[in-house]
């Protein structure tokens, strides 16, 4: 029987698997028993940009599945520290981490976070959330900025004065206006493209520090 030629989608999928299998950060994550290679983006930002997590911090992790960021933060906290993570997807439990399965960008998700916070203010909000990619650059960009705006709104409502916000974003339509809004709420902002973030990915991170309150 004649061999069928692979569809464009199949070729893209097998290229992704090939790249994934050869990725040094994937291999390192497997060796070190991490839930995801994404952890190395966070550790670089924490360690090389001097974002210190105090032992008794309250940290909220938005878009936390499969859980490598929450796990890393949990390991840096003492017994009085708290990590609350939310994701659309279910996660395997992480010791010492309060996990919520839900949509951050929904009234139910916001309610669940409020309940988990139980009146506590937050020291650090971290967000690795990205929209599900549609393939349409403008649509994906606008969805990303929408998530960023919602994240900033949440941070402004819950952060302690002096607190910090780390979030993933994409450069493009809507970014400049969002960056200005962020600048009016925090004293310092840095754009970071960690080494573990693939060059081919449009993502980078905004580290906003010293919330004005
Ligand atoms: C790159 S992954 C996060 C990886 C995570 N930082 C880790 O280290 O394991 C992005 C996550 O954001 C989640 N996400 C996207 N939009 C969301 C939303 N509106 N509410 C909750 N989670 C969302 C996705 O389900 C996905 O699991």
Per-residue pLDDT, 14: 75
Interatomic CA distance for residues 115 and 112, integer angstroms? 5
Residue 14 lies in a domain: no
Would 7 be classed as within a structural domain? no
The pLDDT score that the predictor gives to residue 151 is 98
User: In this structure, which residue's CA is closest to atom 5 in ligand 1?
Assistant: 64
Q: What is the pLDDT of residue 7?
A: 78
> Domain limits at 93?
35-211
pLDDT at position 4 is: 58
Instruction: Provide the pLDDT for residue 3.
Output: 53
Residue 91 pLDDT: 96
Instruction: Give the distance (Å) from ligand 1 centre to CA of residue 149.
Output: 16
- At a CB cut-off of 8 Å and minimum separation 6, what does 6 contact? 14
Please report, for the domain that includes residue 50, its CATH number: 3.40.50.150
Number of domains in the chain: 1
In a domain, 156, yes or no: yes
Q: Which residues of the chain have pLDDT under 70?
A: 1-5, 9, 12, 15-16
Q: Which residues are catalytic?
A: 168
Q: Can you tell me which atom of ligand 1 is nearest the CA of 168?
A: 1
Reference 130, options 113, 118, 142; nearest CA is: 142
pTM for this prediction: 0.92
């Amino acid at each position: 029987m004649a061999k069928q030629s692979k569809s464009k989608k199949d070729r893209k999928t097998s290229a992704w698997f090939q790249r994934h299998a050869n990725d040094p950060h994937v291999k390192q994550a497997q060796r070190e028993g991490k839930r995801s290679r994404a952890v190395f983006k966070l550790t670089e930002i924490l360690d090389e940009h001097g974002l210190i997590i105090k032992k008794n911090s309250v940290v909220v992790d938005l878009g936390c599945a499969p859980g490598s960021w929450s796990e890393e933060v949990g390991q840096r906290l003492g017994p009085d520290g708290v990590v609350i993570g939310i994701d659309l997807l279910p996660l395997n439990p992480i010791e010492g981490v309060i996990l919520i399965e839900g949509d951050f960008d929904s009234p139910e998700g916001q309610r669940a976070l409020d309940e988990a916070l139980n009146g506590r203010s937050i020291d650090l909000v971290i967000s690795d959330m990205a929209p599900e990619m549609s393939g349409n650059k403008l649509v994906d960009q606008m969805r990303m900025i929408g998530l960023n705006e919602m994240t900033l709104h949440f941070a402004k409502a819950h952060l302690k004065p002096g607190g910090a916000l780390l979030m993933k974003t994409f450069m493009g339509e809507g970014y400049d206006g969002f960056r200005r809004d962020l600048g009016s709420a925090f004293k310092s902002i840095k754009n970071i493209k960690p080494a573990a973030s693939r060059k081919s990915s449009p993502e980078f991170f905004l580290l906003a520090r010293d919330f004005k309150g």
